[in-house]
Structure 1
Amino acid sequence: MISPDLSGAEFRKSSLSGGGNNCVEVATNLPGLVAVRDSKDPSGPGLTFSPAAWSNFLAGIRDGAL
């Protein structure tokens, strides 16, 4: 499996995080890809999702299904 190139990812934290380093960061600026990483380990591995899968995940959280 080839890992996608995340070097151009612009990661951001939720405004509700309080600015700490104990957060999940998300990058949505990559075409056809949403990248997620742990703010405590920014050079560590990230997870990637299709925009549709990420949208479904967020909808599940908002709806209380997850």
Structure 2
Amino acid sequence: MTDTREWHKSTYSAEKGSCVEVAEGATVLVRDTQHRDLGHIAYPHQAWAVFLNDLRRGVHD
């Protein structure tokens, strides 16, 4: 089965080329824009939501 999710640049990516791409679904896939060939890391949707909430609150600054 082929995963047909679309990748998009994360809104939290840096302006100077330090970018990650995200494909959202039941699991969230994250990959380095400059090294797509190395694959991705999969996170459970809930874990990704907690991480984003922490970013909004400045927990990971």
Q: Does 1:59 align with 2:58?
A: no
Matched, 1:8 2:43: no
Paired AA for residue 33 in structure 1: T
Aligned residues: 60
More strand by share: 2
CA distance in 2: counterparts of 1:16 and 1:60, whole angstroms:
12
With structure 1 as the length reference, what TM-score do the two structures score?
0.69
Measured in 2, the distance between the counterparts of 1:16 and 1:65 equals: 14
Consecutive unaligned residues of structure 1, counting only runs of 5 or more, are none
TM-score scaled by length of structure 2? 0.74
**Which structure 2 segments of 5+ residues have no match?**
none
Larger fraction in helix: 2
Task: State the superposition RMSD in angstroms.
Answer: 2.7
Distance in 1 between the 2:37 and 2:3 partners?
Answer: 10
